Amino acid sequence: MAIFKGAGVAIVTPFRESGDVNYDVLARMIDFQIENGTDAIIICGTTGESSTLSHEEHDECIRFTVEHVAGRVPVVAGTGSNCTAEAVRLSVHAEQSGADALLCVTPYYNKASQKGLIEYYTEIANSVSIPIIMYNVPSRTGCNILPETAVRLAKTVPNIVAIKEASGNISQVAKLASLANGCIDIYSGNDDQIVPLMSLGGIGVISVLSNVAPKLTHDMAAAYLEGDLKTAMDLQLQSIPLINALFSDVNPIPVKTAMNQMGWNVGGLRSPLCEMDEDKAQILKSQLQAMHLM
């Protein structure tokens, strides 16, 4: 059974002016997402600035999210690392905190071989009993999960059940879907490829766009799952200018800027991320206005 179908939000981590995590705003964001149809909350992913959270903050963000969601939708915790032992520690803690599933990115910087990836994911999976979504994002990690590797893991490790595909390579996704023949659930990791990836058998998206447009993103995926391909395609195409603006700088710089423009007060970014250029921020604001989101 799938962890979720439809649109899961890769939720941002809001900060106070002091730099601490703002749990009051995080609670309001979670409620807003669920009220607007979001099908899962993904906490402490790339968009949540997980790489600059302390171990204590990472653990607490997961615990808080599970507690606040209170079973309304699945909670997927980001627990990947460039250190396998740390990924195991994070994963065990997330399971103990009540997370429904884990999102484990490939080891970044290390550039693991395919053999190394198999060992990495197998060790994490053997440390927990909850399902795991592998996260393939070569542009950020320098490491690509080949289709053959993903299928081998899905067929030999019982709780590796899905992959978030953010390679941007539709041909690779097509090969993965063909080799898998249904043995692994595929989620889009790119908002501009939700419908294209679902046309190859994907069951949804783990989305940055959902932070600012949860209903639109949910409706797009839901329409496709319900067989209303025209509506899904129309929503995908309508959202492309906003998606382009949301990725006009390094994620999550634009999406946090957009949320602040919308009045969410999610705070700033942790170094080495920095504020986006004003001209890009103005384009982003105009796209939010065009979509009637502010």
* Annotation says 135 is catalytic: yes
Helix axes 253-261, 229-246, angle to 10 degrees: 100
Residue with tokens 């023949």, as numbered in its chain: 181
Cα distances (Å, whole numbers) of residue 210 to 173, 179, 221, 232, 286: 22, 30, 11, 15, 18
Q: Assess contact for 168 and 185: CB atoms under 8 A.
A: no
* Active-site hit among 135, 187, 224, 256: 135
Q: What distance in Å separates the CA atoms of residue 97 and residue 60, rounded to the nearest whole number?
A: 9
Q: What distance in Å separates the CA atoms of residue 69 and residue 120, rounded to the nearest whole number?
A: 30
For 137-152, the DSSP string reads: -HHHHS----HHHHHH
* Active-site hit among 164, 187, 224, 256: 164
* Annotation says 115 is catalytic: no
Catalogue the active-site residues: 135, 164
